[in-house]
Structure 1
Amino acid sequence: MSIRDSHKSALLHPHSRTSQLPIPAEFGPFFFDQTLDHLHTITTKFPQRYWVNPQNYHTNGPVILFNVGELDATGFDGLVIDSFLHDLAQDLNGIAVVIEHRYYGNSTPFPSLNLENLRFLNTYQALEDMANFIRTVKNHHTPNPIVSFPRINRFIFCQFPNINFTLPPAPRTPWIVYGVSYAGNLAAWMRKNYPEIVFAAIASSAPVQANVSFWQYREPILWYGPKRCIDAIISTVDQVDQILFGNDENAKKILYKKFGFEGEGDYSFANWISEPVDIWQNSTYSNSPFLDFCAIFDNSTTPTEYFDAYAGYVKTVESKSLSQADNAWGYQTCTEYGYWQHAAPKGHPSLVSRKLDIDGFQNYCHSIGINSLPNVTDINLRYGGWNVDLTHTIWVNGEWDPWRGLSVQSPNAPKKKSTADAPLVLIPQAVHGWVC
């Protein structure tokens, strides 16, 4: 089964500047003995993977904790030696830490992610993971890893496995939590819920306003994409929908074959052909796969030529296998966040087939055993949504980011004032997570 045949459009993949350098073993990975249920209904622990670079540390410097979010952290380990995270640690004389989110990569508590095993995957547990980590990181190299100082009885001093100096605990050591995309939400909410141990937060491209429907996701593409390319996409989608919404089943089979689709169902097909459009959010400072896609229309001038060029491109794109990470994130969107990136409503230009509708997303949730809508009301009430008001928090967004519509800098959000204590940074023409 391909990722496109499942819940691909609801996935929120943060762009991060991953290092191509091999990560020296001295930086990890290490494993933290994490509590599975912070409500203590069971006593099970699981190993949570992390990496640490202490080389830039000087006395009183901070620890900067980067949560990878809804992805396998393999490949993000290099952030501790070559990234914005590393540069920030260097500038602040701090320690750079990358931590893997529960249920992703090698921090998965169960070998299989069925509905029963996924019950401990939620925002509360993820935030408590980081709070527990900040409070209780121990030095695994000594028989007595926690050392107390008689004159400071209310503080306990802890260490990471690869440091040979005493690191005072929070709040003596300032902790800065940093995240991109969904993990940007977590960074902000760590500052909100644990101000006694989290000194500051950097929330990049954070869609803090949970919403079931998010058809506006592709609006920045419509507004800022090259006009010729956008016109070609809309033309092709219109031609596709004429067939999908028609009664000619043979024409539909021919359509599937032309685009190289071997799955079943119009919703899955609509998901399949949306892939080239949604790579917009993967644009970086130096590379735009979306513009690479748009180049296929350079020699096309008619609707038929647009259609053929689009189909040829999609047919050659390699399908990805559905991973456990996709299952986990699908579960999170079904239970808490929504973020369902369906087609625009009728009467509004759509860059994807209108068969990519909200019912298809809900059917996916039903298929994994979740029959209720995502509890976005609870998430927004608990953590503030657009109305979250924090100090010591830097909000960073890209002007062209498709996720900006759910961020505190959304044009639809209540107007926030940028202050020295909580600056709002909007990067012109930037897309998703460019602060990395």
Structure 2
Amino acid sequence: MIRTAIHLLVPWAILLQLFGTVHATVSSDYRYTYLNVLRKTHLDHVDSHDKNDVEETFLNQRLDHFDRTNRATFEQRYFSTDRYVLENPSKNVNFLCVGGEGPGFDKSVLIDSVHCTGDMLELAQIMSKKHGVSVQVYALEHRYYGKSYPSFSDSPVTIQNLKYLSSRQALEDLAHFVHHINDKQGRETRWVTFGGSYPGVLAAYARFKYPHMIFAGVSSSAPVKIVVDFPDYYHVVGKDLRYSKVGGSPSCYDIVKKGHEQATQLVDHEKFATDFMVCDASKLKERRNQEILLGDGLINIPSQSNDPGCTDDLCNIRRLCDFMEEIHSATNLTELDVLATVASKQRRSDECLEVDWNKTLVELSKPVVTGEGWRSWLWQTCTEFGFYQTCEDEQCPYASSYHRVDIDLEICKVAFNVTDVYENIEASINYYGGLDVNGGSRVLFINGDVDPWSALGLLNSTDHELPAIVVPGASHHAWTHSKQATDSTEIQHARAMIYATVTGWLTDERSTEGKRVVGTVGSLRMNNVVSST
């Protein structure tokens, strides 16, 4: 079985997540997974429901909200459930799980998924049962993902047709959706947005841009600092390999770093190609092919998806480090040999890896819709966000200088004829403000310190209206997953802070409830968790 080099591009081109820290040496179970899909969650604390109580609906949206002369529309998908709706409530609230990049939603998004279960659905249940609040819950799919693609005479992901895909259009979609539901319900209701990763960015921006419509937002693992070149992603991965709380150690880091240093000297050798199951060893004579193989890691290091409770081999940092350290100390294997052993365990035995930069560019240029929506997100990185995870200096645990930003800029040029990436990202910074969120209110920012995306998150806040929490030992919005018996104390406390903060904003109990939870947060680093007013 041949695996093409297009998979090598996933770590750079596709965020947050787009589909997790995924690359060519990872098994097919890891590929194209959104953020923490590795965690096989099941519903155990949110009351179990089947999909019959979740309704799938389509809403007619303007294709271009900023051109009133363009009357074209498309059908945007959303999901809803009234399982937390009460007949005689103390008040009514609407919760919205904001969609983003990656595979489209299905009905499980309002039952049990990685998106909004541990925060939004749990809180809806609490507010309904304990506070007598009627909560209507929704999930809105992002345009150009899932089943929310506009229809054209040709593919929706041609360069010409992708011009209608942007976060600004998506926010207008969200505003129109809220207006539509308010009209349908016949009342103005307080809305709270929830989202993790890029949807977390949108959840915050929706509150900032439409404060008259969105009452509050919960923004999890959101990269609100917009950058083209993002070397800090791999800097955090390197830190995680040394982070004892999640099983890292200096020796684990050294194996990875030294192994990649050895790889730079041997990458064009036949034995290297054999050890790492490269289909055509001759391709590794070319520098660009060496770069796309070594610049993002020869093995999968699950920093972004780290789950301390997983049980599969090499499924988290602790299990990966323990395995590498054990075989390194017990054998005469070099560090590179250890990486080859790991790579073989993370991949199927019957597949080889096709490393061909030119062929990859051809594949990326095809206007093909995929279930993962990778071309849509790639477009957004070139035109709005960047977020290119580069390996340029010695802080990168992989092959330093083997992934420079020129690789990503070349993709934008070839795939979309976009040559003004820096100007595009500067425009986004000017429009959204990046980490400068002065003047905003009632948005809670949460980040995990194991998550490489936390380097772009709002980690500290002196504004009591914009509380910020950092969760030690936590990966990419791990608290939005359904509750598990293996959840760390810090994850449990993070959820408690979300519940207390949002409940405080929505009810008159914020002062006492906030103080009660603040007293139990342990090692959470937080700032002004409960707002007044």
Place the TM-score, normalised by the shorter chain, in its bin.
Answer: 0.7 to 0.9
- Cα offsets for 1:351-381 (capped at 9, x unmatched): 3453222111111112212222242221111
Match of 1:81?
111
Among 286, 289, 293, the alignment partner of 1:269 is: 293
Among 42, 48, 62, the alignment partner of 1:35 is: 62
Mapping for residues 249-328 of structure 1, pairs under 5 Å: 249=268, 251=269, 253-262=270-279, 265-270=289-294, 273-274=297-298, 276-277=300-301, 279-284=302-307, 286-287=309-310, 288-297=315-324, 298-301=326-329, 304-315=333-344, 316-317=346-347, 323=370, 325-328=373-376
CA RMSD of aligned residues (A): 2.7
Among 123, 140, 143, the alignment partner of 1:99 is: 140
Mapping for residues 202-281 of structure 1, pairs under 5 Å: 202-225=218-241, 226-227=248-249, 228-244=251-267, 249=268, 251=269, 253-262=270-279, 265-270=289-294, 273-274=297-298, 276-277=300-301, 279-281=302-304
Q: Is the 8 A contact 1:214 1:339 kept in 2?
A: yes
1:2–1:242 CA distance, 2 compared to 1 (3 A)? closer
- Cα offsets for 1:1-53 (capped at 9, x unmatched): 45423343342213378865784134122222222211235222222122112
Match of 1:128?
172
Give the deviation of 1:117 after TM superposition. Answer: 1.6
Q: Kindly indicate whether residue 73 of structure 2 is the aligned counterpart of residue 45 of structure 1.
A: yes
The separation in 2 between residues aligned to 1:262 and 1:92, in whole angstroms, is 56
- Cα offsets for 1:223-272 (capped at 9, x unmatched): 2321222111101110112235xxxx5x2x54233212337512322257
Segments of 5+ residues of structure 2 without an aligned counterpart are 18-34, 44-48, 129-134, 242-247, 284-288, 354-362, 365-369, 481-533
Look up the equivalent residue of 2:137 and give its one-letter code: A
Give the deviation of 1:391 after TM superposition. Answer: 0.6
Q: Is the 8 A contact 2:308 2:316 kept in 1?
A: no
SS of 1:282 mapped into structure 2? coil
Segments of 5+ residues of structure 1 without an aligned counterpart are 138-155, 159-166, 410-414
Q: Kindly indicate whether residue 386 of structure 2 is the aligned counterpart of residue 338 of structure 1.
A: yes
Q: Is the 8 A contact 2:449 2:475 kept in 1?
A: yes
Give the deviation of 1:199 after TM superposition. Answer: 0.5
Give the deviation of 1:109 after TM superposition. Answer: 1.7
The separation in 2 between residues aligned to 1:104 and 1:275, in whole angstroms, is 29
SS of 1:385 mapped into structure 2? coil
Q: Is the 8 A contact 2:238 2:253 kept in 1?
A: yes
SS of 2:304 mapped into structure 1? helix
Look up the equivalent residue of 1:28 and give its one-letter code: E
Look up the equivalent residue of 1:9 and give its one-letter code: W
The separation in 1 between residues aligned to 2:168 and 2:41, in whole angstroms, is 30
Give the deviation of 1:211 after TM superposition. Answer: 0.4
Match of 1:433?
477
Among 427, 435, 447, the alignment partner of 1:378 is: 427
Look up the equivalent residue of 1:371 and give its one-letter code: T
1:272–1:216 CA distance, 2 compared to 1 (3 A)? closer
SS of 2:418 mapped into structure 1? coil
Among 392, 400, 404, the alignment partner of 2:442 is: 392
SS of 1:417 mapped into structure 2? coil
1:285–1:312 CA distance, 2 compared to 1 (3 A)? closer
1:181–1:274 CA distance, 2 compared to 1 (3 A)? farther
Match of 1:367?
414
- Cα offsets for 1:274-301 (capped at 9, x unmatched): 5513x31012352353334334412113
Match of 1:162?
none
Q: Is the 8 A contact 2:296 2:398 kept in 1?
A: no
Give the deviation of 1:175 after TM superposition. Answer: 0.7
Match of 2:451?
401
The separation in 2 between residues aligned to 1:223 and 1:385, in whole angstroms, is 24
Q: Is the 8 A contact 2:78 2:139 kept in 1?
A: yes
Give the deviation of 1:188 after TM superposition. Answer: 0.7
1:122–1:311 CA distance, 2 compared to 1 (3 A)? same
The separation in 1 between residues aligned to 2:347 and 2:50, in whole angstroms, is 31
The separation in 2 between residues aligned to 1:397 and 1:366, in whole angstroms, is 33
Match of 1:150?
none
TM-score, normalised via structure 2 length = 0.68
How many pairs were matched up?
393
Task: Give percent identity, aligned residues only.
Answer: 25
1:275–1:230 CA distance, 2 compared to 1 (3 A)? same
SS of 2:373 mapped into structure 1? helix
Look up the equivalent residue of 2:475 and give its one-letter code: V
Q: Is the 8 A contact 1:182 1:207 kept in 2?
A: yes
- Cα offsets for 1:87-126 (capped at 9, x unmatched): 1112233122122111111112244412112111111101
Q: Is the 8 A contact 1:285 1:434 kept in 2?
A: no
Q: Kindly indicate whether residue 94 of structure 2 is the aligned counterpart of residue 63 of structure 1.
A: yes
Look up the equivalent residue of 2:291 and give its one-letter code: Y
Q: Is the 8 A contact 1:241 1:353 kept in 2?
A: no
1:262–1:269 CA distance, 2 compared to 1 (3 A)? farther
1:395–1:276 CA distance, 2 compared to 1 (3 A)? same
TM-score, normalised via structure 1 length = 0.82
1:104–1:274 CA distance, 2 compared to 1 (3 A)? farther
The separation in 1 between residues aligned to 2:384 and 2:232, in whole angstroms, is 19
